[in-house]
Amino acid sequence: MSNMNLYSRGDKLFVIVNMVLIAIFMLSTLYPFIYIASLSLSTGFEARAGNVVLTPVGFTLEAYKQVLSEPQFWTSYKNTFIYTIFGTLMSLAFIIPGAYALSRPQLYGRRFWNLTVAFTMWFNAGLIPFFLNMRDLGLLDSYFGIIIGFAVNGFNIILLRNFFEAIPQSFEEAARMDGANEFQVLWKVYMPLSKPAIATVALFCIVSRWNGFFWAMVLLQDEDKIPLQVYLRHVIVELSDDEEFANSLLTSAYSFETVSAAIIVCSIIPILLIYPFLQKYFSKGILLGGVKE
């Protein structure tokens, strides 16, 4: 803290206010995690009574036993992985070539195409036209519908395009003089040079796919195809009205609240595990295209 002597009183005040605000923000983000984790590890009685505040009360793993013994949980977990992995790959397969094309100065009508892509960031057809469109294309209730239907995202294309544009032109020119065609320039030069940007875009795709709930709910009826998030909704909405389930709670150590919390924890874990490795790309991603090197 000896360095604080270098700061004026105003600066010190600024630092203190910043720290307080950041601490409040951090707690407000962290607390829901702690609360849900504690809830999932508490007994159903304490959870229902609202006694869980910070730490588990009457520690038990019953809620998890209940969740993990349910076949539908594993089916939807598997589906979420399918949508996330194949959806992300499909997105990258569209976004990378799209961004590369938009970054080329020689692209005919480049401004128009860029505007067209940017337009979709603010305006879209809306719920019902999109649903009807998917229905007419025969993409309701199918894995492929979810994977292809949300593969292209204007924001990610623009993000990656900006990164491609910042790569010095001489890399491309050197490759072209060496005999590389357009595809080879992208595959052998631009993509390896853009790993951080592609990782960022992939991460955005992974997170949005993993958390994707609304459209899966709208487009999927078949229980064998729903992802974890939709299954969670089923549990919350449907089991609360389920008399049989309600009766079973009377004799068990879990409750509706602890089961829901356990599913949420299970759904967070994979993202939580990969996040530390990809976190650096997230912060880089925010700066993408902002600075020309």
Partner 1 sequence: MSGVSLQGLVKTYGDIQVVHGIDLEVQEKEFVVLVGPSGCGKSTTLRMIAGLEEISDGDLSIDGRFVNNVAPKDRDVAMVFQNYALYPHLNVAENIAFGLRIRRESKAVIDASIKEVGEILGLTPYLGRRPADLSGGQRQRVAMGRAIVRRPKVFLFDEPLSNLDAKLRTQMRAEIKRLHNRLGVTSIYVTHDQVEAMTLADRIVVMHDGRIEQTGTPMELFLNPVNTFVAGFLGSPPMNMINARIESGDNGPIARFGELSLALVDTPTMRDAIGTDITLGIRPEFVTVSTQADTHGTIPVDVELIETLGSEALIHATLQGEPFIIRAGTVGQMDVLNGISGFSVEPNLIRVFDAKTGMALPDQVMKQ
Q: Which residues bind partner 1 (CB under 8 A)?
A: 168, 170-171, 173-180, 184, 188-189, 192-193, 195
CA torsion, ordered 70, 71, 76, 82, to nearest 10 deg: 140
Smallest distance, Å, CB 117 to partner 1?
26
Q: Which is nearer to partner 1, 56 or 196 (CB)?
A: 196
Cα radius of gyration (the chain)? 24
Residue 110 vs 233, nearer CB to partner 1: 110
Nearest-approach distance from CB 202 to partner 1, in angstroms: 17
Minimum gap (Å) between residue 85 Cβ and partner 1: 25
Q: How far is the CB of 105 from partner 1 (least distance, A)?
A: 12
Instruction: For residue 105, give the 3-state DSSP assignment.
Output: coil
Contact 232, 17 (CB under 8 A): no
Nearer to partner 1 among residue 153 and residue 194 (C-beta): 194
**CA 113, 115, 119, 122: dihedral to nearest 10 degrees?**
140
Closest to partner 1 by CB, 185 vs 232, is 185
Q: How far is the C-alpha of 258 from the C-alpha of 46, rounded, in Å?
A: 10
Query: Residue 124 gets which letter from DSSP?
Result: -
For partner 1, give the closer residue by CB, 186 or 235. 186
Q: How far is the CB of 160 from partner 1 (least distance, A)?
A: 17
User: For residue 200, what are the CA distances in angstroms to 80, 85, 132, 156, 206?
Assistant: 20, 15, 32, 9, 10
Tell me the closest approach of the beta carbon of residue 189 to partner 1, in angstroms: 6
Q: What angle do CA 229, 27, 271 make, to 5 degrees?
A: 35
